[in-house]
Amino acid sequence: MSSTCRVLDEDVDLAEAIEPERRRQAAEECVARVVSIPEGHWSGAHGAASGEGIGLLVLSGLLIRRVGVDARFGAEMLGEGDLLRPWQGDDPSPTLPLTTGWQVLEPTRLAVLGDAFAARMARYPQLAGRLVGRALQRSRHLAVNMAIVHQARVDVRLHMLLWHLAARWGRVRSDGVVLPLRLTHSVLADLAAARRPTVTSALSELARRDLISPLEGGWLLLGDPPGELQELSPVPTSLKPGS
């Protein structure tokens, strides 16, 4: 199902890149087609027909990109504000038998930033800088994920991973930080580069030590963020106890 939207009305951070006196005009001009993707496997087929344009901007929802070698998978989680180009970079590797794919975890809305949108956006060069910044931030998140999965113990990986995700999606409440993401053990196994039974055991260990507690539709993170993560990517002060 597709429709259209004013991208800057949907993405406030992008709108704030434009000076206030031009913001309304920019919002009216920067219109893009929107596609809605249901939960489940996604082929990534909603790009520009020619594979050109800027990419797909996530307006809402949650999805992961999985990459595997010999049935061992790693994954990257993406959500609101992320920029995708699913038609780029998935050519078969000449040296590795790679398996790649997309899974939509929550119904997702994508703005198609094609050639027509790029032409309209050219009147507002600040938007290009903001979108490039999004791409760089995505690469930094990937670097942190790589450091996390190099931790030897899976319980440490998962503890770091959940707090890393909470830095973006978490909400503080009186008894801890809520991570409102429905992450199955299989999804966590991909994100943590571990086997699902090992993840199940590690989550039980974290719960036994009162570091996490499962919730309906998410997780409650208790206590302080792990020190190992603080060295890689400090958790925002607003998510720390007592802040």
- Tell me what the mean pLDDT of segment 192-207 comes to: 95
Q: Is the pLDDT of residue 206 over 90?
A: yes
- Return all residues near 112 (Cβ < 8 A) that are at least 6 apart: 32, 33, 34, 35, 46, 47, 48, 53, 56
- Tell me what the mean pLDDT of segment 195-206 comes to: 96
Q: What is the pLDDT of residue 1?
A: 52
Q: What is the pLDDT of residue 88?
A: 74
Q: Is the pLDDT of residue 242 over 60?
A: no
Q: What is the pLDDT of residues 5-49, one digit of tens each?
A: 999 999 999 999 999 999 999 999 999 999 999 999 998 776 544
Phi, psi of 19 (to 5 degrees): -60, 140
Q: Is the pLDDT of residue 192 over 80?
A: yes
Q: Is the pLDDT of residue 90 over 60?
A: no
Q: Is the pLDDT of residue 155 over 90?
A: yes
Return the higher-pLDDT residue of 204 and 73: 204
- Tell me what the mean pLDDT of segment 158-177 comes to: 93
Q: What is the pLDDT of residue 44?
A: 79
Give ranges for CATH 2.60.120.10 in the chain: 2-148
Percent of the chain having pLDDT more than 70?
Answer: 84
- Tell me what the mean pLDDT of segment 67-90 comes to: 80
Mean pLDDT of the chain: 87
Q: What is the pLDDT of residue 49?
A: 47
CATH number belonging to domain 153-239: 1.10.10.10
d(CA 64, CA 201): 23
- Tell me what the mean pLDDT of segment 143-168 comes to: 92
Give ranges for CATH 1.10.10.10 in the chain: 153-239
Domain 2-148: state its class.
mainly beta
Per-residue pLDDT band at 80 (split at 50, 70, 90): very high
Q: Can you say whether the dihedral through the CA atoms of 115, 118, 119, 120 is positive or negative?
A: positive
